[in-house]
């Protein structure tokens, strides 16, 4: 994207530029005009109606519901056609809100009782719902407030005949600025008309951030009040890798970022040329390069960026935004599709990692004071074997069609692996009884993301065929830093000596017991840590597809022997900062163009 419009410069000559810092949600730099997404507040008068108009008001309400349903189905169909069915599934939750009998009956009964116009009653009912939802401590239910509000606005628009500018209808390329973006807004975005987006609220793990990464749209979230500081037509720069956002940048800043975009484009292009070359060091040590995916549709991007397999398939996205639990058949089809498209590359399906910040309301996970330390992941699966077995059977069946592996999340000790494997054996017997094909030798691995697992990695290694280090959680648990809390984000340090030692322990224990050790936490995709991780002996790096080319370049530019020396030196430092500075310095020496 290039913008060298002289007029733009003139217009903003006297407007001071404002620099903001937010949470980087999706990488990439863009410069463009703001499109401030209308935070429409409906002001609806309390209009009295006559007894004889009651039936008419109810009919209007029903008509608006039908119209909204048809609008949503149309959007869902369009997204399914132009993108894929997984992104469109978000709208399933919207249809559920529309069909909520409690809301519908309350509106109809209040119209009859209070003799008020439908718009007013409907808005009031919705407001009360939002109030109730906001008091609920369940994170998943809290997230549903935005679904209810979004659907409510759509119904109101149909009642009063007002249309909202839709992201689907947008013709010009813009940067969307919004207080928050609903999953439907994000799923409607296309790279062709949305250059990027920024929001007042949100965190790294919101649906919105996850969607942005999978759509490869640069985004910064959590800017607090960017919607108050910008207006439609302003010029904006966003850097989704650093979290920098600049409103009405002066010419010098624009030039700086235009250069950066050009450089990134060129580097990105050059790096993609490495796509088909082997991922190995200068002295021919081969390293696995995997992609992390949430949806089957991401396989394409993983391969296009040079992944040789899927190092982490986060299967829990199957369970979110669904009315019912996904069936065995539905899961089987998805795993089979991913396995077939990645073949002969491997696909590591991580069994459901529900709980923590990923809640599914219909599973009735109770409110907990510390959900990250609570009923999460493998703990949930072992407690609900009837749900776990559906997933295991689906993975086993799909294993007949490709190179699938199973990985258990949040393992804290050996018993959990043994219990999970026992359930897996039961599933195998059930399939054998029915003469259903599967890979009898399917390999099972565990995530090393709890400090206890890293410390007893030698014992764990005797139970499994591979490890994958989940640094996102390993860092939060070893440093006691909540991974989604911005206030303590400064303490969330992958380069902390304690983290490095735990990583080393896991790798060494794996190797001593002849199993390979990968990493699927975000740290694996951060360029300045690659040399250290390589030198520590990491066998596989798995990351979001867009991060792959840079890591491949680094691995191909160094010898394993040199990387080992860098890792040894890194382990001698006593602070995170020293490690981080040293790591950056080593990378800069090796590939200066990454820093230009």
Residue located via tokens 């993301």: 449
470 binds ligand PEP (CB under 6 A): yes
| Those residues with Cβ within 8 angstroms of residue 272's Cβ, 6 or more apart along the chain or in another chain | 304, 305, 306, 549
Assign 292 to helix, strand or coil: strand
For the CB of residue 422, give the shortest distance to ligand PEP in the complex, in Å.
24
Closest CB to ligand PEP among 309 and 470? Answer: 470
Segment interacting with ligand PEP, rule: CB under 6 A, options 35-43, 58-66, 467-475, 574-582: 467-475
Are the beta carbons of 371 and 355 closer than 8 angstroms? yes
**Nearest Cα to 555, choosing from 584, 591, 516, 589?**
591
520 catalytic residue (yes or no): yes
DSSP 8-state secondary structure symbol assigned to residue 325 = P
Binding to ligand PEP (CB under 6 A): which residues in 334-353? Answer: 353
Least CB distance to Mg ion at residue 590 (A): 30
How far is Cα 4 from Cα 259, in angstroms, rounded to an integer?
A: 11
Q: Confirm or reject binding of residue 316 to Mg ion (CB under 5 A).
A: no
218 is a contact residue toward ligand PEP (CB under 6 A): no
Q: Which stretch binds ligand PEP (CB under 6 A): 98-106, 228-236, 294-302, 470-478?
A: 470-478
Least distance (Å) between residue 365 CB and ligand PEP: 16
Among 296, 521, 535, 537, binds ligand PEP (CB under 6 A): 521
314 binds ligand PEP, rule: CB under 6 A: yes
Among ligand PEP, Mg ion, none, what binds residue 521 when CB lies within 5 to 8 Å by partner kind? ligand PEP
Is 107 near ligand PEP (CB under 6 A)? no
Helices (H), 350-496: 377-383, 385-398, 414-433, 451-455, 457-461, 471-479
DSSP code of residue 423: H
Active-site residue, 207 included: yes
User: φ and ψ at 456, to 5 degrees?
Assistant: -105, 25
- Least separation in angstroms between residue 520's CB and ligand PEP is 4
- Token output for 183: 């999953």
- Residue 154 or 496: which CB sits closer to Mg ion? 496
Distance CA 386, CA 163 (A): 46
Separation of alpha carbons 591 and 332, rounded Å:
43
Q: Are strands 235-239 and 244-247 parallel, antiparallel or unpaired?
A: antiparallel
The footprint of Mg ion on this chain (CB under 5 A) covers a number of residues equal to 3
CB of 390 to ligand PEP, least distance (A): 20
Choice between 238 and 503, CB closer to Mg ion: 503
Residue 520 found at the interface with ligand PEP (CB under 6 A): yes
Q: Which is nearer to ligand PEP, 107 or 502 (CB)?
A: 502
Alpha-carbon distance of 325 to 116, in angstroms, equals 40
321: left (phi over 0), alpha (psi -120 to 50) or beta: left
Radius of gyration of the chain from its Cα atoms, rounded to whole angstroms: 26
Q: Does 472 bind ligand PEP (CB under 6 A)?
A: yes
Q: At what angle do helices 90-98 and 139-160 cross, to 10 degrees?
A: 60
Shortest separation between residue 204's beta carbon and ligand PEP, angstroms: 9
Which pairing describes strands 219-221 and 23-26: parallel, antiparallel, or unpaired?
antiparallel
Q: Does residue 355 bind ligand PEP (CB under 6 A)?
A: no
Token pair of 155, please? 């119904």
CB 293 within 8 A of CB 306: no
Q: How far is CA 243 from the centre of its chain?
A: 16
Per-residue contact string for residues 466-485; x = within reach of Mg ion by CB under 5 A: ----x--x------------
Taking residue 437's Cβ as centre, other Cβ atoms within 10 Å add up to 12
Fill in the per-residue mask, 353 to 392: x = in contact with Mg ion (CB under 5 A), - = not in contact: ----------------------------------------
* Stretch of residues binding ligand PEP (CB under 6 A), selected from 117-125, 167-175, 466-474, 563-571: 466-474
- Of 87, 427, 496, 520, the active-site residue reads 520
Of 517, 518, 519, the residue nearest 494 (C-alpha): 519
Catalytic residue, chosen from 207, 401, 496, 528, is 207
* Closest distance of CB 22 from ligand PEP, Å: 20
Q: How far is the CB of 292 from ligand PEP (least distance, A)?
A: 7
Residues within the interface to ligand PEP (CB under 6 A): 312, 314, 353, 449, 470-473, 520-521
| Catalytic residue annotation | 207, 520
């Amino acid at each position: 994207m290039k913008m060298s419009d002289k007029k733009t410069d003139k217009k903003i000559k006297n407007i001071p530029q404002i620099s903001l810092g937010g949470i980087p949600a999706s990488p990439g730099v863009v410069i463009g005009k703001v499109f401030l997404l209308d935070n429409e507040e409906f002001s609806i008068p309390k209009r009295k109606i006559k007894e004889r108009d009651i039936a008419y008001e109810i009919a209007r309400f029903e008509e608006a519901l039908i119209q909204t349903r048809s609008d949503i189905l149309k959007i869902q169909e369009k997204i399914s056609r132009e993108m894929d069915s997984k992104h469109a599934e978000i709208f399933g939750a919207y249809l559920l809100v529309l069909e909520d009998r409690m809301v519908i009956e309350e509106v109809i009964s209040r119209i009859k009782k209070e003799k008020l116009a439908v718009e007013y009653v409907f808005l009031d009912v919705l407001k009360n719902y939002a109030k109730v939802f906001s008091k609920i401590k369940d994170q998943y239910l809290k997230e549903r407030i935005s679904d209810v509000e979004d659907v409510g606005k759509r119904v109101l628009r149909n009642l009063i005949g007002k249309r909202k500018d839709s992201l689907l209808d947008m013709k010009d390329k813009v940067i969307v600025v919004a207080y928050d973006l609903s999953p439907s807004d994000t799923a409607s975005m296309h790279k062709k008309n949305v250059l990027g987006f920024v929001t007042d609220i949100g965190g790294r793990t919101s649906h919105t951030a996850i969607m942005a990464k999978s759509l490869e749209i640069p985004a910064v979230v959590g800017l607090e009040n960017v919607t108050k500081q910008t207006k439609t037509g302003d010029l904006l720069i966003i850097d989704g890798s650093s979290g920098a956002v600049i409103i009405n940048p002066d010419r010098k800043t624009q030039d700086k970022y235009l250069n950066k975009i050009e450089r990134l484009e060129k580097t990105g292009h050059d790096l993609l040329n490495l796509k088909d070359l082997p991922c190995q060091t200068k002295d021919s040590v081969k390293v696995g390069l995997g992609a992390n995916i949430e949806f089957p549709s991401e396989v394409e991007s993983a391969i296009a960026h040079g992944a040789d397999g899927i190092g982490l398939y986060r299967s829990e996205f199957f369970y979110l935004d669904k009315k019912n639990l996904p069936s065995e058949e539905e899961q089987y089809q998805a795993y089979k599709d991913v396995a077939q498209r990645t073949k002969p590359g491997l696909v590591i399906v991580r069994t459901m990692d529900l709980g923590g910040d990923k809640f599914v309301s219909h599973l009735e996970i109770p409110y907990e004071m510390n959900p990250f330390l609570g009923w999460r992941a493998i703990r949930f699966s072992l407690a609900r074997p009837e749900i776990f077995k559906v997933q295991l059977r689906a993975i086993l069946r799909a294993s007949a069609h490709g190179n699938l592996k199973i990985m258990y999340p949040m393992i804290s000790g050996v018993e959990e692996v043994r219990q999970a494997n026992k359930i897996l054996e039961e599933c195998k017997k059930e399939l054998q009884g029915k003469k259903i094909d599967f890979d009898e030798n399917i390999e099972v691995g565990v995530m090393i993301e709890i400090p206890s697992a890293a410390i007893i990695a030698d014992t764990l290694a005797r139970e499994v065929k591979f490890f994958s280090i989940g640094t996102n959680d390993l860092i939060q648990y070893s440093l006691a830093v909540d991974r989604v809390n911005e206030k303590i984000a400064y303490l969330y340090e992958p380069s902390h000596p304690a983290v490095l030692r735990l990583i080393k322990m896991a790798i060494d224990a794996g190797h001593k017991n002849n199993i390979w050790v990968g990493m699927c936490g975000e740290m694996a995709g951060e360029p300045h840590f690659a040399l250290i991780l390589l030198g520590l002996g990491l066998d596989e790096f798995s990351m979001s597809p867009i991060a792959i080319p840079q890591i491949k370049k680094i691995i191909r530019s160094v010898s394993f022997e040199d990387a080992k020396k860098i890792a040894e030196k890194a382990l001698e430092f006593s602070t995170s900062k020293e490690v981080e500075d040293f790591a950056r310095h080593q990378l800069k020496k090796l590939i200066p163009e990454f820093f230009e």
